[in-house]
Structure 1
Amino acid sequence: MADLFAPAPSETADAASVPLADRLRPQRLEDVVGQEHLTGPEGAIGRMVAAGRLSSMILWGPPGTGKTTIARLLADAVGLRFVAISAVFSGVADLKKAFAEAREHARMGHRTLLFVDEIHRFNRAQQDGFLPYVEDGTVTLVGATTENPSFELNAALLSRAQVLILNRLDGAALETLLARAEELEDREIPLTADARAAMIASADGDGRFVLNQVETLFSVQIDEPLDPAGLAAFLHRRVAVYDKDREGHYNLISALHKSLRGSDPQAALYYLARMLTAGEEPLYVLRRLVRFASEDIGLADPQALVQCLAAKDAYEFLGSPEGELAIAQACLYLATAPKSNAAYKAQKAAWKSARDTGSLMPPKNILNAPTKLMKQIGYGKDYAYDHDADEGFSGDNYWPEEMRPQTYYEPVDRGFEKRIGERLAYWEELRAKKR
């Protein structure tokens, strides 16, 4: 189960054998980082603790944001007996046992906080089984889920529990965890400043993940701080190399690709012939041509991809040798088409942003709100319907609040992309007027 951690003395004799994350387990709610909107004096949890009375709740948030830790500390804060079960490993018998024990302890004046991890994994009937015990106070239910409660939990259960949303940990919160790990270990993490930032970015807001990465770094002798490239090499498995017995195969496909990119249809046709006459699998060549159509031509000529897929269909219909003419036709079309790698570069840049920014929430106004809960928290509010706007363009902001708008796709001034560039410029001009 995913927790957040702050320095605490180890309870075991052999502290070195205990995972770093467990040795950094918080002892107080105020030590949990990144969730001050809930645990602070004005937060829902802070207010409940101050009043000494908890209501049942669902903690909804990404992995590694402190759901389990908060539940455990809540029980300690208000003097409740803490019982934890996981919906992954528990069934009806386990639930019945937990409820029976809670009822026995209630008779002796000891109330129970029942923490259910991955509560969304219980089916509808099992979720209904919680209702009588929550209603009569046998247990105070604290459920944890990474899934949207609106879709995964019964409406009856949701009506009896408060949904509290945990945030993914931002850079400052993750940096706090790194500092606490360094304090506990009495040494610095062997990373340059850039590598440290890269590790925080790769954590995607998950506190346990980043601490596991730190523990890996502390587990070996590193003489010089790692830079980002060194960190990536250290924390990821090496990629297997190609079979060197097929070097000629890769040389020829490389030559074909480069000839196509260089708009030399004669050389491209030569290398295509070399491969096919040598017995290369035609469908392999076609897969590479399809890839080239997207990578090196893209929207400069959208028909390039269509031509390649049509050649694939023709070859599968005719077979060899008749179908090979369709492959040659696709090859010539690609070699003579206007070239652009704008789509390829845009995809790479967008994928990098996605990895770097992780699970940032889109603006709530552009999200659908099919449930009452989602409407209450602002989903779909004030959405600007573009078809109702002048020119069919609202100029709204579609980026997460924590992220500035990015430019990934920059069309070239060739082929069809020249028209696309004009269109983008027109929209940008409209957007500027609406700001």
Structure 2
Amino acid sequence: MPDLFAEDPPQPGRERLREDAPLADRLRPRALGEVVGQEHLTGPEGAIGRMVAAGKLSSMILWGPPGTGKTSIARLLADAVGMRFEAVSAVFSGVADLKKAFAAADRAAEAGQRTLLFVDEIHRFNRAQQDGFLPFVERGTVTLVGATTENPSFELNAALLSRAQVLILHRLDAAALGQLLDKAEELEGPLPLTDTAREALVASADGDGRFLLNQAETLYAAQIGVDGSGPLDPEGLGKFLQRRVAVYDKDREGHYNLISALHKSVRGSDPQAALYYLARMMVAGEEPLYLLRRLVRMAVEDIGLADPNALTQCLAAKDAYEFLGSPEGELAIAQACIYLATAPKSVAAYKAQKAAWRSAKETGSLMPPMNIVNAPTKLMKDVGYGKGYQYDPDVADGFSGANYWPDEMEPQTYYQPVERGFEREIAKRLDYWDKLRREKQG
């Protein structure tokens, strides 16, 4: 069998990895069937499984979190269909490296050997460098397999995406991570952990198989339990290993996924889920003022006048946080989040604003009716500016029922309160004023 663990493409006579190589590399799968957690792709009915069965690969982008097997799959693909494997990293490679790789692929093609070009972290290449792949992919010099942890829709050229199939790798679940630990124990022996500590170790990996195996290797290297002290419990494991910080890039897709989840949980009146996503972002280092700005937005977009205090609560939370700082001020943010999630919801004000803005653009510069325009000079009064204006506080019922719309425009109804929260009372007021208006206007 070709050496699938080698740094470079498998070649006859190459040695396997040394015994002191990292555990994650020594456990690298030897066949696609050994890749854990990605059976939806590598299985017989999966996209990769079907391509391998047909003996023909199309260019693809492997998109998934760190430590989910992207590099392993790329290496195994080349071997499975008898292709030459060439690898570059967008972190360490430049234009010269790409030209060298393409030239080698051209030479191999002349000798009848197809090349699978694996590009790790492909999203780190700029747009011009990504365009450089296109002619070689189009004429079949290489079959491109790119790996990325970032959303290809945002990070890759549309032209490149149109020539490659995007395959999504799943974050490894507890079962898949448990399989990796089983393989490690078959090779190195039982881990010095209680059952609950083993579960805690799996949870700490946050879906990253390589991280999990690196943590296991640290435990093996420390020879815990060899001195007769016994296996570690969760508390002992926590003291020995630093818990991994959840993957979260504040300007990347993870950021937008979590803020979307927070917003939708608030909108859906689930304070428990809303608090969870708020905590996820705070623990990961999100800027608290960013979260407060988003909460203010939720208060006016999703709640509005159904509970006017929602906006007040959010602005008070902003003042409290700025006054107290972290961590004390974070309680004010959590309180505002809970208030929003438990408040009655209405998008009546949001819809009204959109509709009014749309009318303003469509109607241009229509003149307001003369009774409500300003008349600061005698000439303007003489020509009718402000004529017939009624001062509502002095009118019976405090309501004149006057016309406030341009003569060329029919009165519109933008704001339609819902029968929830304080808007129920607003609806009663509007109905009462509509009745008075009809009476006063005959």
TM-score by length of structure 1 reads 0.54
Moved over 6 A (4+): 309-312, 387-390
| Alignment partner, residue 365 of structure 2 | none
Point out where structure 2 has 5 or more consecutive residues left out of the alignment: 6-13, 244-309, 339-414, 422-442
Is 1:226 matched with 2:229? no
1:229, CA displacement in angstroms?
Answer: 1.0
TM-score by length of structure 2 reads 0.53
- Bigger drift between 52-61 and 193-202 goes to 193-202
1:166, CA displacement in angstroms?
Answer: 0.3
| Alignment partner, residue 155 of structure 1 | 158
1:18, CA displacement in angstroms?
Answer: 1.1
| Alignment partner, residue 37 of structure 2 | 34
Tell me the amino acid that sits aligned with residue 241 of structure 2: L
Residue by residue over 1:146-199, the C-alpha shift from the partner in whole angstroms, topping out at 9 and shown as x without a partner, is 0000000000000000000000000000000000000011x2111111111111
Is 1:72 matched with 2:78? no
| Alignment partner, residue 242 of structure 2 | 236
* Equivalent-residue separation in structure 2 for 1:341 and 1:144 (angstroms): 41
Match of 2:179 among 172, 176, 180: 176
Cα 1:12/1:49, change in 2 over 3 Å? closer
Cα 1:135/1:306, change in 2 over 3 Å? closer
Secondary structure, counterpart of 1:219 in structure 2:
helix
* Equivalent-residue separation in structure 2 for 1:202 and 1:165 (angstroms): 23
CA contact (8 A) 2:321 2:332 kept: no
* Equivalent-residue separation in structure 2 for 1:62 and 1:84 (angstroms): 19
| Alignment partner, residue 219 of structure 2 | 217
Give the share of equivalent positions with the same residue, in percent. 71
Tell me the amino acid that sits aligned with residue 202 of structure 1: S
Is 1:115 matched with 2:118? yes
Secondary structure, counterpart of 2:191 in structure 1:
coil
Residue by residue over 1:371-428, the C-alpha shift from the partner in whole angstroms, topping out at 9 and shown as x without a partner, is xxxxxxxxxxxxxxxx9997679xxxxxxxxxxxxxxxxxxxxxxxxxxxxxxxxxxx
Cα 1:29/1:342, change in 2 over 3 Å? same
1:236, CA displacement in angstroms?
Answer: 2.6
* Equivalent-residue separation in structure 2 for 1:147 and 1:310 (angstroms): 33
* Equivalent-residue separation in structure 2 for 1:171 and 1:66 (angstroms): 15
* Equivalent-residue separation in structure 2 for 1:220 and 1:310 (angstroms): 45
* Equivalent-residue separation in structure 2 for 1:162 and 1:388 (angstroms): 46
Match of 2:201 among 179, 190, 199: 199
| Alignment partner, residue 370 of structure 1 | none
Tell me the amino acid that sits aligned with residue 179 of structure 2: T
Cα 1:59/1:308, change in 2 over 3 Å? closer
| Alignment partner, residue 258 of structure 1 | none
Residue by residue over 1:12-57, the C-alpha shift from the partner in whole angstroms, topping out at 9 and shown as x without a partner, is 5841x11111111111000000000000000000000000000000
Residue by residue over 1:244-280, the C-alpha shift from the partner in whole angstroms, topping out at 9 and shown as x without a partner, is xxxxxxxxxxxxxxxxxxxxxxxxxxxxxxxxxxxxx
Cα 1:192/1:109, change in 2 over 3 Å? same
* Equivalent-residue separation in structure 2 for 1:81 and 1:388 (angstroms): 66
Secondary structure, counterpart of 1:83 in structure 2:
strand
Secondary structure, counterpart of 2:186 in structure 1:
helix
Of structures 1 and 2, the one scoring higher in RCO (CA 8 A, sep 6+) is 1
Residue by residue over 1:62-103, the C-alpha shift from the partner in whole angstroms, topping out at 9 and shown as x without a partner, is 000000000000000000000000000111111111101100
- For the pair shown, the structure with the greater C-alpha radius of gyration is 2
Tell me the amino acid that sits aligned with residue 235 of structure 1: L
| Alignment partner, residue 58 of structure 1 | 61
1:221, CA displacement in angstroms?
Answer: 2.3
Residue by residue over 1:204-261, the C-alpha shift from the partner in whole angstroms, topping out at 9 and shown as x without a partner, is 1100000000000011222211111110100139xxxxxxxxxxxxxxxxxxxxxxxx
Point out where structure 1 has 5 or more consecutive residues left out of the alignment: 238-298, 313-333, 335-339, 348-386, 394-435
Cα 1:124/1:234, change in 2 over 3 Å? same
| Alignment partner, residue 247 of structure 1 | none
TM alignment of 1:20-31, pairs within 5 A: 20-31=23-34
Tell me the amino acid that sits aligned with residue 231 of structure 2: P
TM alignment of 1:177-326, pairs within 5 A: 177-185=180-188, 187-223=189-225, 224-236=230-242
Tell me the amino acid that sits aligned with residue 232 of structure 2: L
| Alignment partner, residue 131 of structure 1 | 134
Cα 1:77/1:341, change in 2 over 3 Å? same
* Equivalent-residue separation in structure 2 for 1:156 and 1:13 (angstroms): 39
* Equivalent-residue separation in structure 2 for 1:141 and 1:189 (angstroms): 39
Residue by residue over 1:104-134, the C-alpha shift from the partner in whole angstroms, topping out at 9 and shown as x without a partner, is 1100000100000000000000000000000
* Equivalent-residue separation in structure 2 for 1:93 and 1:73 (angstroms): 26
Residue by residue over 1:324-380, the C-alpha shift from the partner in whole angstroms, topping out at 9 and shown as x without a partner, is xxxxxxxxxx9xxxxx99948x99xxxxxxxxxxxxxxxxxxxxxxxxxxxxxxxxx
